[in-house]
Chains A and B, each alone.
Chain A
Amino acid sequence: MGGKIRGHAITLGDHINTDVIIPARYCTCFDPEYLGQHCMEDLDSNFFRKRKPGDLLVAGDNFGCGSSRESAPLAIKGAGISCVIAKSFARIFYRNAINTGLLIFECEGLAEMTRDGDLLEVDPETGLLSNLKRSKSFASAPFPDLVREIIALGGMVPFVRRRLGKKR
């Protein structure tokens, strides 16, 4: 699952929906870099300019609600965001993130206390999330075994390849 990740927090509210993560007007292109440049622009037109590669998104409830567009996790990855931590995720976004290899963690405590710019550390191996600025650590909600397996393999494509191999 890779080593520890460090980066600064960009905090967001509840119900951050896919229409603001990446507006439909950009969804005729699938290039993550292009999508990344327009990520969250309806929420903050300077989002892309202000964010730094490696930053983490820290959001409230129901992150990624709305459409099924997989351009949403791609745009976040394309913007150079290393990981999304939220109190809760909408279900299609949750699957799309796992499938496309965007790191996500569900954690109420960290989201509650984190402020813009706080330095965070994430251990994908253990799911331990730390706010280094405030010297607090939280365990994220564990993934079901099957989901862990998909993440460990690097997404849904290798998972399907293996499942097809198993069957034959």
Chain B
Amino acid sequence: MFNMTITEKILAAHSGVRRVKPGDLVFAKLDLAMSTDITTPMAIPIFEKMGVNHLFDPNRIVLVNDHLVPAKDIASAELSRAMRQFAKKHKIKYYFEVGRSGICHQLLPEEGLVVPGDLVVGADSHTCTYGALGAVAVGIGSTDLAASWALGENWFRVPKTIKVIYKGRLPKWIGGKDLILHTLGDIGVEGARYQTLEFSGEVISKLPMSDRFTLCNMAAEAGAKNGIIEPDEITLQYLKGRAKKRYRFFQSDPDAPYSNLLEYDISHLEPLVALPPLPSDVRKAREVGRITIDQVFLGSCTNGRIEDFRIAAQILKKRKVAKGMRLIVIPASQTVFKKMVSEGLAAHFIAAGALIGPPTCGPCIGGHMGVMASGEKVLSTSNRNFVGRMGDPTSKIYLSGPAVAAASAILGRVADPREVI
């Protein structure tokens, strides 16, 4: 017998072969191809040049309005319209319109469209988020998307896998964001380039799905092809009442070959923050000195889930956003938005002086709803702090989880939640 990792097994199962090994190039059948209002329109004319009139399966194509919605200007309105018309022409079942949508990486799992064992491509670099469900999900560009629409398959280089083992007990205020920032701080922004990050260990086996999504989401920031977590009872609970299709749990063999093993004891981990302009320049929030900030952004595909807002609300409840500070809160989907309202979290945010925006990627990509002026500083729960990412190239982006973000909004500077609560 040969031993394989979960990623290798899923790629093999979709390529019609019994075995794959790192370095192999395989053609694999796709369960789903996802794209958004900024990557779909570019793919349409490319698809049309491929000499085929129909999509491989309109029910396996998902189109999501999320990046620049509601339309921020005429150009983005045209992009959404191009996607809308394409969806209509090809009778695409899973087309998500503004108001019934959300950020793709929250929406697809929430709608049960990605299930364990799937092979998914998405024209967005954070497609790796779905790995939290035990699926192989990788980001691609628009030409690869068009090829996937036409063929129902695409080529993949089987990646090596780095196994990341988290040991110990998760301290208070520490979540998936701190785990991944800690890991990025260790391995760097190309520490997993072209490889898989497989997250495991006793911490993961108890970790809620929301934190698992955050963890896999930022596998991209280490250069990984995908992040993945073996599905378990927690995955099963999440799938109940959601999964739109049958699923299959794959597990790594005990003797599967890993390119590297990384072990972290996180029992004493403290709330972290990444300094601009790299997500790997990670420090303890309480040790960065006095960094005053102009804006806090709570949201994005990394930390825009209801669990994140519950943490933030716990800190912001009955407190006020600092003078001169702007707090922008953006739920990652319409469903998250509804829960935020029904659970009373929205009321706490508004009372604190926050602005709540509609589900969108918006400020994370410097699109709209919170773009930064020259020289300004923002603390964001999103995933990238590159130069110019959220606005003017001289603005600075600090990254953290929701607890640090909420505490910082109150104190007007980068803060540890324990300074507030």
Contacts and interface: CB of A to CB of B under 8 A. Distances in A.
Given A20-B387, A28-B75, 4 more contacts: A19-B388, A23-B393, A91-B225, A161-B51
Interface in A122-168: 144-146, 155-157, 159-161, 163-164
B150 A27 contact: no
Interface string A94-131: 01100110000000000000000000000000000000
A17 B68 CA distance: 21
A28 B151 contact: no
Contact of B142 (A19, A28, A70): A70
Interface residues on B, range: 35 or more
Given A15-B189, A163-B151, A164-B151, A95 B386 contact: no
B251 interface: no
Given A92-B125, A144-B25, A157-B46, A69 B189 contact: no
Given A24-B366, A24-B367, A144-B157, A68 B50 contact: no
Contacts of B157: 144
Contacts of B41: 30
Contact of B384 (A19, A88, A144): A19
A86 to B, nearest CB: 11
Contacts of B52: 164
Interface string A1-37: 0000000000000010101100111011110000000
A163 B189 CA distance: 35
Interface residues of A, number: 41
13 contacts: A15-B190, A17-B384, A19-B387, A23-B366, A28-B78, A28-B79, A29-B75, A66-B386, A67-B365, A70-B39, A90-B223, A99-B141, A160-B50
A15 B278 contact: yes
Interface in B28-69: 38-39, 41-42, 46, 49-52, 68
Nearest to B364: A24
Going nearest first, the 6 A-B pairs with the smallest beta carbon separation are A28-B75, A42-B388, A96-B141, A99-B143, A42-B393, A70-B141
Contacts of A61: 190
A43 to B, nearest CB: 7
A160 B139 contact: no
A19 B150 CA distance: 29
A6 to B, nearest CB: 28
Nearest to A20: B387
A28 B76 contact: yes
A145 B24 CA distance: 11
A146 to B, nearest CB: 5
A82 interface: no
A28 B68 contact: yes
Contacts of B393: 23, 42
Contacts of A155: 143
